[in-house]
Amino acid sequence: MRESRGFTLIELLVVIAIIALLMAVLMPSLSRARNQAKTVVCQGNLRQWTIAFSAYTGDNNGYFYNGYCHNGSWDQIHGWPVVMLPYYTDKKLLLCPVAKKPIWDGYGGWGPGINNIRHGAWGVACNKVYGPDFEGTCISYGLNEWVCNYEPGRPYNPDRLWRTVDVGGASNIPLILDCMWPGGWPHHSEQPQEYENNLLVIVNSNANVLRFCIDRHDNGIINGSFLDSSVRKVGLKELWKLKWHKKYDVNAAPPVWPEWMKGFRDY
């Protein structure tokens, strides 16, 4: 009767080397698959937001809500997550699955996402801002504030506001996108931030496009929804070509791209 022979050391090392090689080949594919899955979930969230806003405007003669700035000062309790609350039930829709680390702690301090804002959520401890219904809620999407139907006298260039969904070119008018702030009022004259994690996007009230200019889904991509209810990937350079407001010049000369954006696709 022959005795069974175990693996020799050489054979064992060969097997380990083959397993390591296979892992090296498969890991990037698995990582891409995970990222693609998160992108799909994010787009699904945004699609739900187009449905919610469609329901809201349907109940309000086609008009968007009237914003949350009162006499020039912030009135966050009327921010879009609060106003839209009757039209969604799952607060998970407020958070892109890529954005896991809060940038702001809700009480005046910075959170762990401050060093990587593209993976950061702007809303946390929102009960201080939005009330107890939002306690501990993280939010990582932002509204194109130019869609709002601001009341007369509010300081936001009324001739630029869309106000309603009944407009031409709706497929190029942003609604809600990946963002690291509640939203913004982009202008075509803005320049990109020099560094990807520049806090200018947070603290400068004039840096509105920059709030959306975050490489959240890698390769210079964010997800966005539009007034025609479409949802798609948006290139960071493309942000300067979207029709954010009625007088936004989509044909303006492109800005000077910083080093971290130069390799991204032109649109």
Which pLDDT value is given to residue 111?
75
pLDDT at 217 over 80: yes
Q: Which of 33-37, 42-46, 221-225 has the lowest mean pLDDT?
A: 33-37
Which pLDDT value is given to residue 72?
45
Identify the residue with better confidence: 115 or 177. Answer: 177
Which pLDDT value is given to residue 197?
82
Residue 239 Cα distances to 73, 159, 180, angstroms: 27, 21, 15
Round to whole Å and give the CA distance between 193 and 151. Answer: 32
**Mean pLDDT score, 247-263:** 94
Name residue 61's amino acid. Answer: N
Q: How confident is the model at residue 6 (pLDDT cuts 50, 70, 90)?
A: low
Domain ranges of the chain: 9-261
Beta strands 69-70 and 183-184 are unpaired
Q: How confident is the model at residue 153 (pLDDT cuts 50, 70, 90)?
A: low
**Mean pLDDT score, 111-136:** 75
**Quick one: what percent of the chain has pLDDT higher than 70?**
82
User: CB of 223 within 8 A of CB of 231?
Assistant: yes
Got the DSSP string for 203-247? H-TT--GGGT---TTSSSEEEEEETTS-EEEEETGGGGGS--STT
Nearest to 239 by CA among 256, 217, 221: 221
pLDDT at 182 over 80: yes
Three-class SS of residue 126?
A: coil
Round to whole Å and give the CA distance between 105 and 244. Answer: 29
Q: Which of 4-8, 179-183, 193-197, 201-205 has the lowest mean pLDDT?
A: 4-8
Q: How confident is the model at residue 76 (pLDDT cuts 50, 70, 90)?
A: low
User: CB of 168 within 8 A of CB of 207?
Assistant: no
Which pLDDT value is given to residue 33?
61
**Mean pLDDT score, 149-172:** 86
Query: Over the chain, what is the mean pLDDT?
Result: 84
Overall pTM surpassing 0.95 (yes/no): no
Nearest to 147 by CA among 243, 55, 211: 243
Which pLDDT value is given to residue 54?
95
